[in-house]
Amino acid sequence: MSLSSFSVLETEIFPYVEAHQSDFIENLKEWVAVKSDSVQPDLRKEVIRMMSLAAARLAALGATVNSVSLGSQQLLNGQHLPLPPVVLGALGKDPQNLTICFYGHVDVQPAKKEDGWKTDPYTLTEINGNLYGRGATDNKGPVLAWINAVETFRALKIAMPVNFKFVIEGMEEAGSLGLEKLLEEEKQGFLSDVDYVVISDNLWLSKKKPALIYGTRGNACFSVEVEGGDKDLHSGTFGGIIHEPLTDLIALLGSLVDPTGHIQIPGIYDAVAALTDEDKKLYESIEYDIEEHKNNSGVKKLLYSTKEEILQHLWHYPSLSIHGIEGAFHEPGIKTVIPAKVIGKFSIRQVPNMDLSDVKQQVVNHLENVFAKRNSPNKLKVSMPLGAKPWVADVNDPLYKAAKRAIRTVFGEDPDFIRDGSTIPIARIFQTITQKRVIMFPIGAADDGEHSQNEKISRHNYIEGTKVFAAFFLEISKLRGQLCESSNPRINY
Ligand SMILES: C[C@H](N)C(=O)N[C@@H](Cc1c[nH]cn1)C(=O)O
Ligand SMILES: [Zn+2]
Ligand SMILES: [Zn+2]
């Protein structure tokens, strides 16, 4: 960091951020209060309201804002639901500056107090330096940290070191429906002058040590429907004389993974790239505390016992998770019914070289084979409502080096360079459409509990995260002149 950017940070920017902590936390409180759950159809209005708040916040920064309608989505039951608009914002047009496009999402995973939250999930609550609330870390906190950093430059009347573009969506947790098409349409328009894309999502690998993410897995999400008759039945009257749909479904779901976590679908590992010596070295060099990770998960035992095996199975290999069954009785108490139709949901995280259409075929073949052996007269339907490819970036790019310097300035240490087992469907799509570098710059810590009960971001990470983004803007401004066509990314897996 040059002396002048260091001094503006130390003398003006960091003190401003420190002094405005309470305002920044109030902003997060206002956003967390919106139940912008994109998964449950009856909360779609709240997601749409959240998009208006995000648009208003960008407008207050002085950005030109356009809320682009994406039409509607059709649910499996045929119902049509409006999609929330995507908010496109632009701030600054200085031809001397580089233009960074920041992507974030303001939708959240479902949350109910009864799921085991200690506090109301939609009331941001500070306990011992942690800010608890749904979306605090995934992804409202990081989106606001970026906005706070821009606001700091504005408030201090410091010339913006870069031009900003914003792409804020409300359907990430449901697979970023409609966004790819919009980005494709905006390639020659809104996105045409973008130099870099920054995503701040996911978490560090540790509670204390910052990280930069250069790859995520993709995801193939499946629905398996088993349908018997046209109505639910009394299990005393019909139990024992019919093929029950839920019994079929459980057998199908039970055939997917063995107790060691190995996926049982023939061919599923065929395309997975072999582990290189470079990969192995990388895994060895990463600081990773297995006990800490195990404690964060709340489970007693992991499937693997070494750091290398764990990281390989999170980043390098596919995994299969079963998420739920629609139509099955799940409430407390006893209901002696045989459900007529049940739908199982599972997903397979995708790694480089896997092909989504091959995966779909392998899954369909496997489930049809298992089902055929049951001689059931029920109807089986398998579909893949979402397929997202994995993303990998080049850590040697100057963009990663700039982020590393910003982290050193704020946190006083170098980041881990890590991959992440989860999926941001749009990361790879941004890279493919814009042909520009994409970086994932998380500010949440490993114990933030994304998607879990008691999700939080610490006050420290939220505020230092705001500072690190401000430092990053200044670092990016120094990359002017380092961009050339030949350094464009290529994706060939
Ligand atoms: C990483 C991000 N916060 C996230 O949680 N993304 C979801 C996206 C997804 C994938 N399949 C369906 N939705 C995730 O990784 O589960
Ligand atoms: Zn997220
Ligand atoms: Zn998420």
Q: What is the pTM of this model?
A: 0.90
Q: Is 279 a catalytic residue?
A: no
**In this prediction, what percent of the chain has a pLDDT beyond 90?**
87
**What's the distance, Cα to Cα, between the start and end of the chain in Å?**
36
Mutate to test the pocket of ligand 1, among 39, 139, 172, 450 (most ligand atoms within 8 A of CB): 172
The predicted structure's pLDDT at residue 1: 59
Query: Is residue 492 pLDDT above 50, yes or no?
Result: no
Q: What whole-number distance in Å separates Cα of residue 202 and Cα of residue 213?
A: 8
Mean pLDDT of 396-408: 96
**In this prediction, what percent of the chain has a pLDDT beyond 70?**
97
The predicted structure's pLDDT at residue 483: 56
Q: Nearest Cα to 289, choosing from 217, 212, 209? A: 209
The predicted structure's pLDDT at residue 2: 61
Q: Is 287 a catalytic residue?
A: no
Q: From the candidates 107, 244, 397, 447, which is the catalytic residue?
A: 107
The predicted structure's pLDDT at residue 173: 93
Quick one: which ligand is closest to 323's CA?
Answer: 1
In 10 A of CB 14, how many CB atoms?
A: 20
Query: Is residue 164 pLDDT above 60, yes or no?
Result: yes
CB burial class (10 A; 0-12, 13-18, 19+) of residue 284?
exposed
> Does the bond joining 139 to the residue before it have cis omega, within 30 degrees of 0?
yes
The predicted structure's pLDDT at residue 287: 81
Residue 201 in marked binding region: yes
Quick one: which ligand is closest to 389's CA?
Answer: 1
Query: What is the per-residue pLDDT across 95-124, written as a single tens digit (0 to 9) for each?
Result: 999 999 999 999 999 999 999 999 999 999
Q: What whole-number distance in Å separates Cα of residue 380 and Cα of residue 19?
A: 60
The predicted structure's pLDDT at residue 75: 82
DSSP-assigned letter for residue 322: E
Query: What is the per-residue pLDDT across 212-227, written as a single tens digit (0 to 9) for each?
Result: 999 999 999 999 999 9
Span from the CA of 450 to the centroid of ligand 3 (angstroms):
6
